[in-house]
Chain A
Amino acid sequence: MATTQVEPPPPQVEETSSIQRVIIASSVGTLIEWYDFYIFGSLATIISTQFFPTTNPTAALLSTLATFAVGFVVRPFGALFFGRLGDLVGRKYTFLLTLIIMGGSTFAIGLVPGYATIGVAAPVIVIVLRILQGLALGGEYGGAATYVAEHSPVGRRGYFTSFIQTTATLGLFVSLGIILITRQSVGVAAFNDWGWRVPFILSVFLVAISIYIRLRMSESPLFSKIKKEGKTSVNPLAESFGKKENLKMVLLALLGATMGQGVVWYTGQFYALSFLQSVCNVEYVQANTLVGAALLIGTPFFIVFGALSDKIGRKWIMLSGMLIAIIAYRPIYTAMYEDTNIKNKTEVAEKTNVAVKAAMTGTDSVITATTLKTYTDGTSYKEVKTETFPADDAKKAVLAADKKLAKPVIKKEVTLSAGGFWLMVFLVTIQVLFVTMVYGPIAAFLVELFPTRIRYTSMSLPYHIGNGVFGGLVPLISTRLVLATRPAPDQPPSDLLAGLFYPILIAGVCFVIGAIYLPNKSHDNTME
């Protein structure tokens, strides 16, 4: 008599409660890694004064390297190193290692004595620790995305991996929140002096909790299966990038998906904040608060678009996000600028207040004029103009020779009314929605593009080049493009939106390549 054997469920199918544990363990750790990575960027100004004084050219150079180098050079190396390790020894221990390295280096940054105490050793140590942060981040994301995807049932991979996708935005949100809370708690002066160390030191507790959670997790079922069968890759790097069959998919992932996603991500979150602070002159706390609010409103949409990609496919959600961003960026940034432009507002003349203060700094006379203005819509404007008049003949000669130094220092600050604030939240939220469209489904898209034996390595590299190089360069290149529109070096730029040309161009090329070449993966897709 013939017997019917009931086959056990495929290894990638797990019970819901188990998957929830997997998602929590992976997401919490990844969120903490993003938090660790972003607090350095968010505190870059303070860190540069503590470790990289401009009076020392070497330290100033290191400052620039610290800000940029890690993002685009080190992250892809971390992706290669830890991706290889993850495909050789397993996902679990690799992304546990990245968490320890990230947490350790972040904690250590909080303890490094400043330049004033140990001299040039301070910036060198900080650079080394920042490099370790970048390497760890390069290894973390691919591991977490792969780990969750390999636990997910077929047809729900977009939904489950989208929780990992929320972590980058939430990490930024938490970093802004903790910085603001610490700053408000200890005061601005104390924060600039020592309080900035608190967010770094706090990281060690968050990492400890995450390590505890992750240690209790088991290895990915798909990886365990191929390991048991002796089918793991012997040389993941050679297999990923040395064979045409896989290299062509790596190139497709980079040029047709991640490079566009990277610039949309960085424009919608970082460039928006930078534009608010440096171009629109929005007051520091208000700018961070409104971006934080937009991040919080937009975050659930990572999950919405991740889940939707299980139903209609990943490709067109990601590409639609890119296309809408390309079309909408200039109108959105124009609206942001106009919302804060005091020339568009009616001043309440009787509320205007000008205070002039004179002081002596050494032998120099310093005149500070503070102007406070209020507008009918509730917006307030503060301008602090500081001019230095040296008594010393040598200093006078320096000022006469350098027009830049002779100019008074003017600091402008716009505090938006409630209406203006919420309009700005709306404009930034739209950009976060673009981010959720391109970023929500991309983890599932990338893991499905590559086989289990080399998945960690293959997906990590295009992801980190797309985000680290193309995305990470948005602030640098965009600022450069804006400055290039100055008619003369001492004149203001003629096109404040010129910086958008770079993300629009990259996203545009990516959209064309993606639309023509990308496969449209969806729920019927199984992973080898």
Chain B
Amino acid sequence: MSIKKILGIVWILMGGAIIPFIVLRAIQEIGEKPTQDNWIFWSIVLIVLMPIIALSMILFGWYAWQGEYEMIT
């Protein structure tokens, strides 16, 4: 099995792990200090950054695992 395929699993796991990591961190920080700055920062991270990273990593990993990138050289 090629490295491209095997790493597909790694990207899927990374994408999946980012979600609870960021959500828990956001809950903790906003809970400790519910300031407007905190809310804005974590809203941006949760609504914009996290979905892009998580979804793209999972989907990319899935395609890699399926061998979609095997022919690209």
A→B interface (CB under 8 Å): 57, 60-61, 64-65, 68, 72-73, 244, 247-248, 251-252, 254-255, 465, 469, 473, 476, 480, 513, 516-520
Contact = CB atoms under 8 A, between A and B. Distances in A.
13 contacts: A57-B36, A65-B40, A72-B44, A72-B48, A247-B59, A251-B56, A251-B63, A252-B69, A255-B57, A476-B41, A476-B44, A513-B11, A517-B72
Given A251-B60, A255-B57, A469 B48 contact: yes
Contact of A516 (B7, B56, B63): B7
B49 interface: yes
A57 B39 CA distance: 14
A517 B72 CA distance: 7
B3 interface: yes
B73 A519 contact: yes
A260 B64 CA distance: 19
Of the four ranges (under 10, 10 to 19, 20 to 34, 35 or more), the interface on chain B belongs to 20 to 34
Smallest CB-CB A-B distances: 5 pairs: A251-B60, A248-B63, A248-B68, A519-B72, A517-B69
Contacts of A60: 36
Contacts of A247: 59
A378 B73 CA distance: 55
B52 interface: yes
A215 to B, nearest CB: 37
A292 to B, nearest CB: 30
Contacts of B4: 516-517
A300 B3 CA distance: 38
Nearest to A449: B72
Contacts of B59: 247, 251
Contacts of B36: 57, 60-61
Contact of B68 (A57, A244, A254): A244
A244 B63 contact: yes
Given A469-B48, A473-B44, 8 more contacts: A60-B36, A61-B36, A247-B59, A251-B56, A252-B69, A469-B49, A513-B60, A517-B64
A473 B49 contact: yes
The A interface, classified by DSSP as helix, strand, loop or mixed, is helix
Contacts of A65: 40
A254 B68 CA distance: 16
B40 A61 contact: yes
Interface in B17-73: 36, 40-41, 44, 48-49, 52, 56-57, 59-60, 63-64, 68-69, 72-73
A299 B65 CA distance: 40
Interface string B1-21: 001100100010000000000
A521 B49 CA distance: 29
Contacts of A252: 60, 69, 72
Contacts of A255: 56-57, 60
A476 to B, nearest CB: 7
A73 B48 contact: yes
A494 to B, nearest CB: 18
Contacts of A244: 63, 68
A241 to B, nearest CB: 11
A258 B63 CA distance: 19
A469 B64 CA distance: 24
A163 B8 CA distance: 36
B47 to A, nearest CB: 9
Given A517-B72, A519-B73, A480 B41 contact: yes
Contact of B56 (A64, A254, A473, A520): A254
Interface centre among B44, B49, B63 (most CB of A within 10 A): B44
Contacts of A473: 44, 49
Nearest to B29: A484
B7 A465 contact: no
A170 to B, nearest CB: 29
Contacts of A520: 73
Nearest to B63: A248
A65 B44 CA distance: 10
A430 B55 CA distance: 34
Nearest to A479: B41
Nearest to B60: A251
Nearest to A484: B29
B18 to A, nearest CB: 11
Contacts of A480: 41
Nearest to A480: B41
B9 to A, nearest CB: 14
A333 to B, nearest CB: 23
A55 to B, nearest CB: 14
A73 B43 CA distance: 12
Contacts of B63: 244, 248, 251
B1 to A, nearest CB: 14
Contacts of A469: 48-49, 52
B60 A465 contact: no
Contacts of B41: 476, 480
